[in-house]
Amino acid sequence: MSVIHTKINNRSEGFKNNQSHYDQMLQTLRQRTKEAISEGRDAHIARHRERGKLLVRERIDLLTDPHTPFLELSTLAAWGQYSQDIYSAGIVIGIGIIHGIPCAIIANDATVKGGTMFNETVRKHIRIQEVAEEHRLPCIYLVDSGGAYLPEQDRVFPDKDHFGNTFHRQCRMSADGIPQISAVFGGCTAGGAYIPALSDEVVMVKGQARIHLGGPSIVKIAINEEVDGESLGGAEMHTRVSGVSDYIANDEAEALGRVREIVAKLNWPTTCYADVKPVEPPKYSPAEITGIISADPKIPYDVREVIARLVDASDFQEFKPLWGEGVVCGFARIHGYPVGIIGNNGVLVSNACLKAAHFIELANQRNIPLLYLQNTTGYMVGSDAERKGIAKDSAKMVYAQATSRVPKYSIIVGGSYGAGNYGMCGRGFRPRFLFAWPTAQCATMSADIATNVMLELRRTNLKKGAASEEELAVIEQTVRSQYETQSDPYYATSRLWDDGIIEPENTREVMGLCLALAAMNPPVRGNAPVYRM
Ligand code: COA
């Protein structure tokens, strides 16, 4: 065992200051999450209940096995983007366990604009389908949606990654043997009708569920036919007459029970391919992480102290501890599952890049998933670094990471700036999951540096003439404000640049679930050797 021995004094003033600073950020996160889940729409929730309908997360509770976790993604999607709050973008996505089988769950929230689709709704829908495809998870659709949110149709309907893509993915997954099951609780109009229509098996709730390509008003306008919603697309009609639905349920609980039965009989394997050991808690409490992260982002801390609170028994076999200290690399276990961790611990110079690249190759050779803890201002700049070949050495780190075969995960724990974001497996490099802590900051560079770059560009732009003090003040104010706003973790999570903001203390549990999911797929083998860098 290579147990990390902490140097943290959890009674010191510094520790307590850090913790109380972080606590305020956690209060904000918890408050915003609570709002997204259940606040600000009392009238819509009351009307929903009067109709005898369950709230979306109550449906998920009934669908999944008791006392099992539901890993919800992107709860704060669409946060602060529209003139009205579009809570969780009107859709709940995540991974839940049904009869012991992890399933991707995609559930519309009809209390938010009738469950209609905004841009972020569609992106969440696609994101969880992507997760399902990558991990081979059966998909369960709990449908209650009016289709496209019509005023936003240009951001929802026509493009490659818009609504059509959800159906394309459904067809492709079914063809690839990944089950697609729908339970319909409310409206399924126009495009939305294809969610159940393209499913392998469909359940409809009597008196509530409707599936139609055009609702009664469209039918009246188009062909002058007068028909009520129930006769046009109700559960009785579709289950007994058209055959669009396979089962009718008397109420929501019965429908969810039927979906559970379907999943139980899927003949779906749950083999584990990883070498899992008994779980051991870390030697130091994960609750201490918030006292380690400096309240002042300019004051560094040792990432090993964070790792000591994330991994089993705080046991971390560090690779090359005496070389390339800008990154810390090593093997450990989280909830018994093997993992290789790469964490930033200073500026990225050439030898740190080479060490990371070498370590990625080791993890690939041993089929050990990789976890990146991002806290970087980027790669070293300047003539000394360039002469030492930082461009080609950082490229090696990027190459090794991008072509890595093992599952990759990223957690943005601090700064994720510039090319450092690429090397440390930013969203563009397709980590299986990417989560952020409330301290995350993701941008091309910090607000300070961006402001100075833009001021310098203006000062040296002689075609525009000499810059006045007023003009420079406007540039300073505009650029700083833009960068501060756009580096905010809530700005990022609202736009699905991550899979959600999580609390440091819960990270171990979240990662345990992620690693367990990946362990259900056989490893992809390759034939590249380990190049000594
Ligand atoms: N686009 C924009 N807004 C829509 C919408 C749509 N497709 N469907 C519903 N809304 C809005 C409503 O205006 C209402 O807004 P408000 O909260 O500001 O009052 C809110 O969503 C809830 O709709 P409401 O009709 O009051 O709820 P409901 O539960 O009785 O019915 C639907 C929900 C979805 C069944 C019903 O609204 C409907 O049929 N909508 C039209 C669906 C449609 O034709 N879609 C075509 C998509 S291509």
Residue bearing the CA closest to ligand 1, atom 30: 114
User: Given 214, 232, 264, which residue is the final one in a domain?
Assistant: 264
Q: Whose CA is nearest to atom 14 of ligand 1?
A: 113
CA distances from 242 to 212, 231, 480 (A): 11, 11, 59
- Give the per-residue pLDDT at 279: 98
On whether residue 528 sits in a domain, the answer given is: no
Q: Give nearest CA residue, ligand 1 atom 31.
A: 114
Q: Whose CA is nearest to atom 8 of ligand 1?
A: 146
Considering the domain boundaries, does residue 48 fall inside one? yes
Contacts of 293 (CB under 8 A, 6+ apart): 18, 22, 301, 306, 413, 414, 437, 439, 504
In a domain, 529, yes or no: no
Q: What is the rounded distance in angstroms from the CA atom of residue 255 to the CA atom of residue 257? A: 5
| Same domain, yes or no: 311 and 341 | yes
**66 within a domain of the structure (yes/no):** yes
387 and 404, same domain (yes or no): yes
Q: Is the CB of 149 under 6 A from ligand 1?
A: yes
Question: Are 128 and 6 within one domain?
Answer: no
- For 462, the domain range is 447-486
Domain shared by 127 and 148, yes or no: yes
Q: Based on the domain organization, do 290 and 151 belong to the same domain?
A: no
Q: Are residues 52 and 17 both part of a single domain?
A: no
Asked which of 264, 284, 304 is the last residue of a domain, the reply is 264
CA of 116 to the centre of ligand 1 (A): 7
If asked whether residues 288 and 318 sit together in one domain, one would say yes
| pLDDT score, position 444 | 93
pLDDT at 526: 86
Contact 73, 500 (CB under 8 A): yes
**Is residue 533 domain-resident?**
no
Instruction: Tell me if 187 is assigned to some domain.
Output: yes
The verdict on 499 and 384 lying in the same domain is yes
Per-residue burial over 280-313, b if 16 or more Cβ lie within 10 Å, else e, is eebbbebebbbbbbbbeeeeebbbbbbbbbbbbb
Total domain count, the chain: 3
Residue 435 Cβ inside 6 Å of ligand 1? The answer reads no
| From 86, 116, 205, mutation site for ligand 1 pocket: most ligand atoms within 8 A of C-beta | 116
Q: Is residue 255 part of a domain?
A: yes
77 and 1 within one domain: no
Distance from Cα 104 to the centre of ligand 1, integer Å: 26
The CATH number assigned to the domain holding 196 equals 3.90.226.10
End residue of a domain, out of 203, 237, 264: 264
> 113 C-alpha to center of ligand 1: Å?
6
C-beta 291 within 6 A of ligand 1: no
**Same domain, yes or no, for 18 and 144?**
no
Residue 532 located in a structural domain: no
pLDDT at 322: 97
Give the pLDDT of the chain (533 residues) as one tens digit per residue.
899 999 999 999 999 999 999 999 999 999 999 999 999 999 999 999 999 999 999 999 999 999 999 999 999 999 999 999 999 999 999 999 999 999 999 999 999 999 999 999 999 999 999 999 999 999 999 999 999 999 999 999 999 999 999 999 999 999 999 999 999 999 888 888 999 999 999 999 999 999 999 999 999 999 999 999 999 999 999 999 999 999 999 999 999 999 999 999 999 999 999 999 999 999 999 999 999 999 998 899 999 999 999 999 999 999 999 999 999 999 999 999 999 999 999 999 999 999 999 999 999 999 999 999 999 999 999 999 999 999 999 999 999 999 999 999 999 999 999 999 999 999 999 999 999 999 999 999 989 999 999 989 988 987 888 888 999 899 999 999 999 999 999 999 999 999 999 999 999 999 999 999 999 999 998 888 999 88
415 bridge partner residues: 441
Answer yes or no: do 254 and 396 share one domain: no
Identify the pLDDT of residue 1: 85
Please tell me the distance from the alpha carbon of residue 236 to that of residue 258, in angstroms, as a whole number. 16
pLDDT, position 72: 98
pLDDT of 190 reads 84
DSSP reduced 3-state for 328: strand
267: how many CB neighbours lie within 10 A of its CB?
6
Q: Clarify whether residues 115 and 145 are in a common domain.
A: yes
